[in-house]
Structure 1
């Protein structure tokens, strides 16, 4: 027996089980209708002002369980009432004024960003200018020593070595550019 035969048998069993449950429900409804009819027949003069409860009609056109054809459609689970289903969210339509306001806000942010960048560049230039104002530069020539350069500018060779990160003050080369602190 193949997989599809198993599925077919399972569907037949489900349909017959559902049909028998439907039959039982009809029988219970018929009994309730009989009780309602009996109570309505036994009304007294005192009860005449109270109307009898309505009876529920029974659908007699439903086929019996033996004659019911098995369906091959899969079941999908319980169905929700229409009022419990939430409508899909709608996307709000943006007006021309809102678009213009959003565009203006973007332009303002961009302008502020450019202003900040310009201010940073100005500050960097000012720091460089201040640094240049505090220092002079000197390009080493052949035969120069750090002590002679320091003496020429009135500064100790240790200050020049420290300022220019020179590990060995006795080892300098022609073409090197040193920053020399101003007095």
Structure 2
């Protein structure tokens, strides 16, 4: 059993050597941190970095079972929820300006609508005046059975072409009883 005892002793020596190296490195790091803390002033000291959240990047479907999950820190610091600054709320001046702009837009819309209605009313008035003028220049006649456009024109002393033109008749030979024609006055 001498061989196994030698292996056992070698392992103990390696473990103790590694432990002493780790202990020395930790002590050195602690000394460096203490030196930095002593030399830092209140003005130039940086706040401690926020904690990072480890992410499990192992693919369990291909890697198989593991005893210890591999973790990596996230990129960049993670801010706690209470350190998030809310967006500035709208001031009363901003609200008043927005309300005033909205009222001005509504007023402009109403003005445009009113001008549109005025134009439509003016067109209707002009149309009525033209109709009145036409009626003043003409009289009406209701077609009876057996009438022809040329006979009607002869009764009033005008040509059938004038009656057809005034009443937008495409075919002067085709008129029906009950139609009302305007007859121009001379």
User: Under TM normalisation by the shorter chain, which class is it?
Assistant: 0.3 to 0.5
- With the length of structure 2 as denominator, give the TM-score of the two structures: 0.43
- With the length of structure 1 as denominator, give the TM-score of the two structures: 0.43
